[in-house]
Every structure is written in structure tokens, then in C-alpha cells.
Amino acid sequence: MKYLAAISLGLVLTLAGCKPAAPVSAPQGIEVYFSPHGGCTEAVVENLNQATNWVCVQAYSFTSAPIAEALVNAHRRGVKVQVILDDSQETGRYSEADFLNNYGIPTLIDNRHAIAHNKIILVDGYLVLTGSFNFTKAAEEKNAENLLVINDPALAKKYLANWQFHAAHSAPYLRKKVAEN
């Protein structure tokens, strides 16, 4: 089920009985999605389809064909697309790393951490997609997950700085290493 909200941080804190601090930035809107079957994948794809300049992705698990296809389509439209994946995706059986790499999308592997657990997509310097939602079919169809789509340029700038920090210590994905079974 799809839940949409355009809620200011102050309203949320007031309803919770807390006094809000001065806002750091003024969000233009927040959309909230829940899975299973809550439209998370559809929301990601819709927002990628609207990208005009650039998209940065950071993912722990990435096996969603519709999201990978939306990234390739954005790349074909001339949108600069860059991806950082957890090192488990280098050998993951259903990882979309090969697909992205084969279409010329720069794909990096972050193996600096025990788990590179971030799940974010940044679009055009103003949109942040984040939450527990992994970019996988299971996350959409089986798991209890959440996805926030936040229109907030100041927040997007902070996420981009963190994305760049991780990109700086990540290595280029070259090809899929087949796991021995």
C-alpha cells in the first residue's frame, strides 16, 4: 500500500509531543512507501525516469531488474549515473553490477567496510531516496521495508558529500567474479 505524506519536520515533532528545533532545511515534500507490495520499486523507477542531470546510487544489495533498467534508461538519456555497491555484489549471483557495467555505467565496489549498508539514490541535487528498502525483488515482494522520497536540496547535499567520501575509497567494478559452489 502506498502512503504519501507532505509533512514538515516541525509538525511531526509537535504531534509527537516534542518541541521542534529550528529547521536545518525546508523540505519541499516527503513521500513514504512501505513493502511488501507497497510500490517502493515503482517509486524508485518513477523518480529515476524524471532525472535530468545526474543520479548517484549507493546500495547494499542490488538485484532489481526494473531499477537497473531505469538507471540504464537514464544513462541513455544523457543523465550521468554512478553507482557504489557493497562488495557482496561483486560475487552475488543475481547482482545487477554486470548489467550496469555492461551499459557503461560507472560502478564502484566499497570493500572498506564490513558491510556497506547504505541504500540511497540521489537525483539532480534535490531528491534523496533512502530507507531500509534494498533495491531487490524480495524487498518489494516479501520483506517489511520502508522507502522515503525526500525533496530537500540541503539534505541531498549532505548525502552527496557522504556518497563522494565512499566513492573515494571504492574500487572500480570490472567484471563479475563467479562464486565457486
- For the annotated catalytic residues, the residue numbers are 117, 119, 124
Query: Which is it for strands 145-151 and 171-172: parallel, antiparallel or unpaired?
Result: unpaired
Place of cell 531528491: 127
Contact 118/60 with Cβ under 8 angstroms?
yes
Three cell numbers written together for 61: 544489495
Contact 100/74 with Cβ under 8 angstroms?
no
Closest residue by Cα to residue 152 from 1, 28, 23, 43: 28
**Sheet hosting strand 120-123, strand order edge to edge:** 2-5, 29-35, 145-151, 127-130, 120-123, 54-59, 80-86, 107-110, 171-172
Distance CA 153, CA 128 (A): 9
Distance CA 117, CA 140 (A): 17
- Measured in degrees and rounded to the nearest 5, phi and psi for residue 13 equal -65, -40
